[in-house]
Amino acid sequence: MGKIYLTEKDLINACISQDSQAQFELFERYKVAMFNLVYRISNDYDEANDLLQEGFIEIFRHIKNFRQDSTLGAWIKTIMVRKALKGIRTQQIYEDLNEAIVSDELLLDQWIDAEMLDQAIRSLPESSRAIFVLYEIEGYSHEEISKLLNIHKGTSKSQLHYAKKLLQKKLSKDYLSK
């Protein structure tokens, strides 16, 4: 049986020394959460797998630069978010929000299952989906999102609002059709 790294610091030091067992353990600890993150942003299973691999290659290359200002998980998450955003950025055009948006009167108070919500999130336009995932699921602030995406804070807020309206419309429609 291989060595088990009890502390994050031990694991980081072993990865800096290019210990393949430590790298495997680091990958195993974070792969599911990071795949889910990049998949939610990219909305493409194959692309998410590629982004996951590219992200971990970057992590192992640069782990010696990890300053431990935050947790290792937060540092890894930042790298993965940037990878995923870079992957969609070239295709991404922020939609004109002057188009008609769902009425504010539409309320969603019905029960929704996780699969229905996941499908609705995946159906969002890329720009709105990325902002929704970063803000609502990953907990980034509009300030952080604006820096990551190189957009105005107001654009982040309006895209989030737009995403919520689209989700509300989609989920209401799906719920009523059952």
- Show the domains of the chain with their CATH numbers: 8-89 (1.10.1740.10), 114-176 (1.10.10.10)
Mean pLDDT across the chain: 82
Structure tokens at 58: 């970057």
Q: Over the chain (178 residues), what is each successive 10-residue block's mean pLDDT? A: 76 93 95 94 90 94 90 92 79 43 40 72 88 90 89 92 89 62
Q: Which amino acid is at 15?
A: C
| Angstrom distance (rounded) from CA 170 to CA 101 | 12
DSSP sequence for 38-104: HHHHH--HHHHHHHHHHHHHHHHHHGGG---SS-HHHHHHHHHHHHHHHHHHTT--PPPTTS----T
**Could you report the per-residue pLDDT of 111-152, keeping only the tens digit for each?**
456 777 788 888 899 888 989 999 988 889 999 998 888 899
